């Protein structure tokens, strides 16, 4: 089952949660990667500094769509967007976020503090997503356990 680590800033997180929409700025890399996210995919949200933690688990409820207006954000234009839904009430915002130092080196594409620089979305393997769920003490019944 496809899973992704989506990156957001602390400023944009409130918009993401309240409007249940996530977006990535214009760019060839972002278009290519965000286009791969499909309805039903599992999503883990990582907030950049100063939080530097995974803060919530969601599912994509739409494929990519392009929005030319800046709303609902006011800091930047996030052209490539997807709609999202929390996996559960507890998953929408973790009581105990997963700190960056708990995942560095355990996820293939996150090997050091610079691994997420310039990235909006990172694909996760089943084992990597399951690890994140385990670190959050979350059981996701509809997510298949990796073999």
Pair 128, 44: CB distance under 8 Å: no
Domain boundaries, the chain: 3-135
pLDDT band at 144; cut points 50, 70, 90: low
Each residue's pLDDT tens digit, 73-88: 888 889 999 999 998 8
Instruction: Please give the average per-residue pLDDT across 52-73, as a whole number.
Output: 93
Tokens 């691994």 found at: 115
**What is the second-level CATH architecture of the domain 3-135?**
Roll (3.10)
Residues 6+ apart with CB under 8 A from 117: none
d(CA 141, CA 70): 36
Residues 6+ apart with CB under 8 A from 93: 17, 55, 56
Pair 17, 92: CB distance under 8 Å: yes
Each residue's pLDDT tens digit, 106-131: 998 888 777 777 789 999 998 999 99
d(CA 94, CA 88): 10
pTM of the model: 0.91
Instruction: Fill in the DSSP letter of residue 77.
Output: -
For the CA atoms of 80, 81, 87, 89, the dihedral, rounded to the nearest 10 degrees, stands at 130
The CB density around residue 69, as the number of other CB atoms within 10 Å, is 8
């Amino acid at each position: 089952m496809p899973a992704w680590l989506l990156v957001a800033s602390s400023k944009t997180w409130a918009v993401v949660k309240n409007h249940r929409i996530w977006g990535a700025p214009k760019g060839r890399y972002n278009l290519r990667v965000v286009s791969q996210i499909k309805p039903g995919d599992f999503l883990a949200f990582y907030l950049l500094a100063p939080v530097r933690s995974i803060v919530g688990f969601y599912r994509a409820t739409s494929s990519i769509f392009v929005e030319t207006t800046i709303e609902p954000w006011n800091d930047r234009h996030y052209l490539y967007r997807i709609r999202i839904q929390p996996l559960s009430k507890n998953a929408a915002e973790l009581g105990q976020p997963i700190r960056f130092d708990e995942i560095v080196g355990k996820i293939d594409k996150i090997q050091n503090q610079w691994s997420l620089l310039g990235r909006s979305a990172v694909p996760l393997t089943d084992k990597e997503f399951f690890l994140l769920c385990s670190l959050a003490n979350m059981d996701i019944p509809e997510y298949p356990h990796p073999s």
